[in-house]
């Protein structure tokens, strides 16, 4: 190994893949490095629900042998990664962060996991999350996940462990799932890159559902390139998810190399300059916009008046879907849910149908407003997922 061990842990997936390919780093040493860090740090951070040292090292040994014999290597060959425990892993317990599923062992990998493995990734383990990927968990059944930058601060959710593990150097990259911010929130809180892909771009097969029309797997990494590499590996049509897109998958890395010159970026007024946004956060967004302009992008302020309603619309729709998913367990195992989850699902179960329908129509209007804005801009930009700079401390210790 040529680089300092700690530096290696923070290099990120894309650079690690290059080092493995160039035989400068051994997949076995790399895997052991992350396992050692997990052993040392995760008692406090609780990023992982399940660690897989034996299978990870066995996979790493096979990866190393492939490098040494000059085999054709996948784009993530030898890169240790971890996944939110919402994704099925064949033969490995998949809890969705709930006691209700603590003994659930799937027979098949989720499609996203199978694709990361096919790209050469080495699965280190399963990551902590808010119960069933809903927010508001009061008592995490598998330990309170903590922000590595400050243990008294919230790491965000629902893909809490996915953000923590990347930020703390406990994996090369991770996979989360995003319905209403569950990748973007932990990425924002933990200071890493998180990407919610366009819905349907990534197969949902094997991911425990919350809302059929909003769930999507999404990558978290140390760099934008890492997120692009993971998305490249997992994107594309899957016959096991009939709603997955048949559109060809772009070459994301090539697109990154284009830079931002000429991009038209709309800064959303209601989310960036509204009274709820912390001044320091607003300042950071404005500074980011200035930097993008210096790099050749064109920014302007846009107004999306319906966007502030999106949160309540989301709750009415996604939570209603979730109530449908959990209908049977709410009847038979209500006491086994965390109190926060149970209350949220029970609330959702009681949303009047007329209001749910109204929210569904309002969502169509919000989407139309956003599509209209994107007809004039290449992308939109707003404050991060959180309005405030310092997330609240976890509720429980």
- From 26, 159, 182, 207, the catalytic residue: 182
**Assigned token pair, 227:** 């997120």
Closest C-alpha to 175, from 65, 305, 13: 13
Residues 188, 181, 237, 172, CA torsion sign: positive
By CB under 8 A, name the one of 50, 55, 200, 223 that touches other proteins.
Answer: 200
What's the rounded Cα separation, in Å, for the pair 386 and 189?
8
The b-or-e profile of 288-311 (16+ CB within 10 A means b, else e) is ebeebeeeebebeebebebbeebe
Region from 82-90, 170-178, 239-247, 374-382 binding other proteins, contact rule CB under 8 A: 239-247
From start to end of the chain, where are the E strands?
A: 48-51, 80-84, 122-127, 173-178, 193-194, 216-221, 264-268, 298-302, 379-381
> Both tokens of residue 223?
């760099």
CB of 364 to other proteins, least distance (A): 4
- Those residues with Cβ within 8 angstroms of residue 375's Cβ, 6 or more apart along the chain or in another chain: none
Measured distance CA(138)–CA(341) in Å, rounded: 8
User: Catalytic pick from 26, 158, 211, 245?
Assistant: 158
What's the CA gap between 56 and 1, in Å, rounded?
19
CB 222 within 8 A of CB 193: yes
CB of 265 to other proteins, least distance (A): 21
Is 365 one of the binding residues for other proteins (CB under 8 A)? yes
Task: State yes or no: residue 243 binds other proteins (CB under 8 A).
Answer: yes
Q: Measured from the CB atom, is 68 or 379 closer to other proteins?
A: 379
- Find the part of the chain contacting other proteins (CB under 8 A) among 39-47, 218-226, 261-269, 364-372: 364-372
User: Residue 317 Cβ, how far from other proteins at the closest point, in Å?
Assistant: 8
CB of 378 to other proteins, least distance (A): 16
Residue of 10, 149, 199, 273 interacting with other proteins (CB under 8 A): 199
Instruction: For residue 364, state whether it binds other proteins (rule: CB under 8 A).
Output: yes
- Give min distance, CB of 272 to other proteins, in A: 21
Smallest distance, Å, CB 181 to other proteins? 17
- Judged by CB under 8 A, does residue 315 bind other proteins? yes
298-302 and 379-381 as β-strands: parallel, antiparallel, unpaired? Answer: unpaired
**Catalytic residue at 320?**
no
Report in angstroms how near the CB of residue 330 gets to other proteins at its nearest: 5
Where does this chain touch other proteins (CB under 8 A) — which range of 2-10, 62-70, 148-156, 363-371?
363-371
Say whether 126 is catalytic. no
> Residue 274: how many CB atoms within 10 A of its CB?
15
Q: Which part of the chain contacts other proteins (CB under 8 A), choosing from 5-13, 52-60, 245-253, 261-269?
A: 245-253
Instruction: Choose, by CB under 8 A, the member of 110, 316, 381, 382 that binds other proteins.
Output: 316
Burial 166-182 (b: 16+ CB within 10 A, else e): bbbbbbbbbbbbbbbbb
Q: Which of 26, 84, 162, 320 is catalytic?
A: 84
Binding segment toward other proteins, per CB under 8 A, in 34-42, 78-86, 104-112, 365-373: 365-373
Residue indicated by tokens 């890492």? 226
Contact criterion met (CB below 8 Å) for 229 and 17: yes
* Under rule CB under 8 A, residue 374 binds other proteins: no
213, 255, 303, 392: which one binds other proteins (CB under 8 A)? 213
Q: Does 379 bind other proteins (CB under 8 A)?
A: no
Sheet holding 193-194, edge to edge: 48-51, 122-127, 80-84, 173-178, 216-221, 193-194
Residue 98: CB minimum distance to other proteins, A: 16
Q: Is 294 in the site for other proteins (CB under 8 A)?
A: no
Q: What is the dihedral of CA 41, 46, 50, 53, to 10 degrees?
A: -10
Residue 196 found at the interface with other proteins (CB under 8 A): no
Active site residues: 84, 158, 182
Q: Which residues bind other proteins (CB under 8 A)?
A: 199-200, 213-214, 243, 245-247, 306, 309, 311-313, 315-316, 327, 330-331, 334-335, 339, 342-344, 346-347, 349-352, 355, 357-365, 367-368, 371
């Amino acid at each position: 190994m040529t680089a300092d061990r700690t530096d290696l842990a923070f290099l990120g997936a894309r650079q690690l893949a290059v080092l493995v390919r160039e035989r400068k780093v051994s997949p076995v040493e790399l895997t052991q490095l992350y396992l050692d860090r997990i052993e040392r740090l995760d008692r406090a951070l609780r990023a992982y629900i399940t660690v897989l040292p034996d299978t990870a090292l066995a996979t790493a040994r096979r990866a190393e042998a492939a490098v040494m014999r000059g085999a054709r290597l996948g784009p993530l060959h030898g890169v240790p990664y971890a996944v939110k425990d919402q994704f099925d892993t064949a033969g490995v317990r998949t809890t969705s962060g709930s006691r209700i599923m603590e003994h659930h062992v799937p027979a098949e990998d989720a499609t996203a996991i199978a694709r990361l493995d096919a790209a050469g990734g080495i699965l280190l383990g399963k990551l902590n999350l808010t119960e069933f990927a809903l927010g508001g968990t009061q008592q995490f059944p598998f330990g309170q996940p903590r922000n590595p930058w400050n243990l008294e601060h919230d790491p965000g959710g629902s893909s809490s462990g996915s953000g923590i593990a990347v930020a703390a150097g406990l994996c090369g990259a991770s996979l989360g799932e995003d319905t209403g911010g569950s990748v973007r929130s932990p990425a924002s809180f933990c200071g890493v890159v998180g990407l919610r892909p366009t819905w349907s771009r990534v197969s949902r097969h094997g991911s425990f559902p919350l809302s059929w029309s909003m769930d999507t797997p999404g990558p978290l990494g140390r760099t934008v390139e890492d997120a692009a590499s993971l998305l490249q590996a997992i994107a594309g049509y899957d016959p096991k998810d009939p709603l997955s897109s048949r559109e060809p998958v772009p070459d994301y890395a090539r697109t990154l190399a284009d830079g931002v010159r000429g991009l038209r970026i709309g800064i959303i007024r209601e989310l960036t300059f509204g009274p709820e946004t912390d001044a320091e956060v607003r300042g950071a967004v404005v500074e980011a916009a200035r930097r993008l302009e210096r790099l050749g992008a064109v920014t302007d302020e846009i107004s999306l008046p319906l966007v502030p309603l999106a949160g309540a619309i989301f709750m009415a729709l996604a939570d209603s879907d979730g109530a449908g998913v959990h209908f049977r367990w709410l009847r038979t195992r209500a006491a086994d849910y965390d109190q926060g989850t149970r209350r949220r699902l029970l609330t959702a179960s009681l949303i009047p149908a007329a209001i749910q329908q109204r929210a569904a129509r309002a969502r169509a209007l919000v989407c139309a407003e956003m599509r209209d804005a994107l007809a004039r801009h290449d992308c939109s930009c707003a404050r991060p997922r959180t309005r405030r700079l310092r997330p609240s401390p976890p509720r429980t210790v």
